[in-house]
């Protein structure tokens, strides 16, 4: 073991100098360089042969004309095989490149590098994916409500507007509804199954898992009792009101002819009730009575109307039905 170590130590400078001289023996380049984007978190990733201890540097540029390579900060000389490049891309087409690097310590600060390896062209709209939004479905006061939410990389787009498309099915009938976050699905009892999709500019997310809810008819015994009580008492209230409100509001005016008759017969005037209101049926009877009296009065000769001691019986008597 010790002899092997000694041999290795003796050969190391030779191996390193050979490496430095032979460009083909420099550093193995990374492979499978690609970009994935989920919920605006953009990751550049690649693979490399494990036995080599190397660092990696990455650069990017616009995919079209005239663009120059730039460093994506914090993705230079890193040890891992992936890097967050979210802040380096916007809404365009981009290309990344990655290379492996190794410092040769014995020859101090000579940086050996692999060739750059290009990534495929990346475009957020085309290649970015939005995962499943979280979905909550609940009922409140007989209403079916739903709320969806997707966790986007808000560093990239702090104000980006997300809407949600809720698909609901009930008894084999399905419909869609769009909303900012919370929506009312229905206010009818039944069994509902809801899924949601997040919409962000031209991108739409994966469909959320389905959430089902059964809303029973929310009518409680208390509500039934209140309803029945209401239905039963309403006619009573109306009847009560028709009778007593009417009495309170309508003071019948005696027709002129009746007032004259009453003033002629002091005995009759005593029969006039003193209440301010007249019961309804009495009022109607009174009208009939007045009409009848008016007819009679026309029939009676003028002198007969004058109060005379012996003709009291001929005088028309006003009889108020209901006050006997
Ligand atoms: C890069 O990844 C995307 C999806 O993640 C895949 O469709 C594409 O084929 C990959 N490209 C290469 C060159 O591996
Ligand atoms: C690329 O650049 C060349 C010359 O600089 C120009 O002629 C060409 O139109 C450009 N292409 C695009 C797609 O911009
Ligand atoms: C990128 O980073 C490397 C190493 O830090 C540096 O040498 C190079 O000049 C940088 N390139 C740009 C365009 O900033
Ligand atoms: C690799 O990265 C580590 C830390 O990121 C650093 O200490 C080391 O010097 C780097 N090696 C090379 C060869 O750049």
Backbone phi and psi for residue 80, each to the nearest 5 degrees, phi listed first: -80, 175
Are the C-beta atoms of residues 122 and 93 closer than 8 Å to each other? yes
Question: Model confidence at 18, in pLDDT bands (50, 70, 90)?
Answer: very low
Q: Whose CA is nearest to atom 4 of ligand 3?
A: 76
Q: Given ligand 4 and candidates 19, 55, 81, 104, which is best to mutate, with the most ligand atoms within 8 Å of its CB?
A: 55
CA 198 from chain center: how many Å? Answer: 14
Q: For residue range 71-80, what is the model confidence (pLDDT) as tens digits?
A: 988 899 999 9
pLDDT, mean of residues 285-300: 64
Q: Given ligand 1 and candidates 34, 82, 95, 128, which is best to mutate, with the most ligand atoms within 8 Å of its CB?
A: 34
Pocket residues: Cβ below 6 A from ligand 4: 55, 77-79, 101-103
pLDDT, mean of residues 87-98: 92
Please, what is the Cα angle at 206 between 204 and 212, to 5 degrees?
120
Output the average pLDDT for the chain. 78
For residue 59, which atom of ligand 3 is closest to its CA?
1
The percentage of residues in the chain with a pLDDT greater than 90, rounded to a whole number, is: 44
Q: For residue range 162-203, what is the model confidence (pLDDT) as tens digits?
A: 999 999 999 999 999 999 989 999 999 999 999 999 999 999
Question: Does ligand 3 come within 6 angstroms of the Cβ of 74?
Answer: no
Mutual angle of helices 221-249 and 280-299, in 10-degree steps:
30
- pLDDT reported for residue 298: 63
**153: which 2 tokens?**
């990389």
DSSP one-letter code for 208: P
Per the listing, tokens 């999709």 go with 197
Least confident of 21-35, 191-205, 279-293: 279-293
Backbone phi and psi for residue 243, each to the nearest 5 degrees, phi listed first: -75, -55
User: How many Å lie between the centroid of ligand 3 and the Cα of residue 238?
Assistant: 90
- pLDDT reported for residue 197: 97
User: How many Å lie between the centroid of ligand 4 and the Cα of residue 32?
Assistant: 22
The Cα 237–Cα 319 span in angstroms is 32
Q: For residue range 197-249, what is the model confidence (pLDDT) as tens digits?
A: 999 999 999 999 999 999 987 666 667 677 777 776 777 766 765 776 655 54
- pLDDT reported for residue 53: 81
Pocket residues: Cβ below 6 A from ligand 1: 34, 36, 120
- pTM recorded for the entire structure: 0.61
Q: Whose CA is nearest to atom 1 of ligand 4?
A: 55
Which ligand has the minimum distance to the alpha carbon of residue 36? Answer: 1
pLDDT, mean of residues 63-72: 88
Question: Does ligand 2 come within 6 angstroms of the Cβ of 65?
Answer: yes
User: How many Å lie between the centroid of ligand 2 and the Cα of residue 64?
Assistant: 8
Which ligand has the minimum distance to the alpha carbon of residue 65? Answer: 2
User: How many Å lie between the centroid of ligand 2 and the Cα of residue 62?
Assistant: 13
Question: Model confidence at 107, in pLDDT bands (50, 70, 90)?
Answer: low
Question: Does ligand 3 come within 6 angstroms of the Cβ of 71?
Answer: yes
Q: Whose CA is nearest to atom 14 of ligand 2?
A: 65
The Cα 106–Cα 17 span in angstroms is 9
Q: Whose CA is nearest to atom 1 of ligand 3?
A: 71
Are the C-beta atoms of residues 316 and 293 closer than 8 Å to each other? yes
Residues contacting 134, CB < 8 A, separation 6+: 148, 149, 150, 208
For residue 36, which atom of ligand 1 is closest to its CA?
5
- pLDDT reported for residue 262: 59
């Amino acid at each position: 073991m010790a002899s092997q170590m000694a041999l290795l130590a003796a050969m190391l400078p030779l191996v390193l100098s050979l490496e430095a001289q032979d460009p083909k023996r420099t550093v193995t380049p990374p492979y499978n360089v690609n970009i994935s984007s989920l919920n605006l978190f953009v990751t550049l990733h690649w693979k490399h042969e494990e036995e080599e201890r190397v660092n990696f540097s990455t650069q990017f540029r616009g995919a079209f004309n005239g663009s120059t390579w730039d460093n994506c900060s914090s993705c230079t000389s890193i040890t891992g095989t992936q890097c967050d490049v979210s802040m380096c891309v916007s809404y365009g087409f981009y290309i990344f490149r990655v290379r492996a690097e190794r410092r040769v310590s014995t020859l101090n600060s000579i940086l050996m590098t692999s060739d750059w390896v290009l990534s495929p062209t990346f475009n957020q709209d085309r290649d970015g994916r939005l995962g499943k939004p979280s979905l909550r479905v609940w009922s409140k006061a007989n209403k079916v409500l739903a709320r969806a939410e997707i966790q986007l990389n808000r560093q990239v787009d702090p104000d980006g507007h997300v809407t949600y498309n809720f698909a609901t099915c009930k008894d084999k009938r399905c419909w869609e509804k769009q909303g900012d976050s919370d929506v009312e699905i229905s206010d009818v009892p039944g069994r509902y199954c809801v899924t949601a999709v997040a919409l962000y500019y031209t991108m739409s997310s994966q469909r959320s898992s389905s959430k089902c809810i059964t809303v029973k008819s929310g009518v409680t015994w208390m509500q039934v009792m209140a309803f029945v009580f209401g239905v039963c008492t309403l006619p009573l209230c109306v009847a009560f009101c028709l009778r007593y409100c009417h009495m309170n509001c309508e003071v019948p005016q005696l027709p002129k002819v009746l007032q004259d008759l009453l003033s002629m017969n002091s005995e009759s005037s005593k029969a006039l009730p003193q209440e301010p209101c007249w019961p309804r049926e009495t009022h109607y009877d009174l009208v009939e009575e007045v009409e009848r009296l008016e007819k009679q009065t026309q029939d009676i000769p003028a002198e007969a109307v004058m109060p005379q001691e012996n003709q009291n019986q001929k005088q028309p008597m006003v009889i108020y039905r209901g006050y006997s």
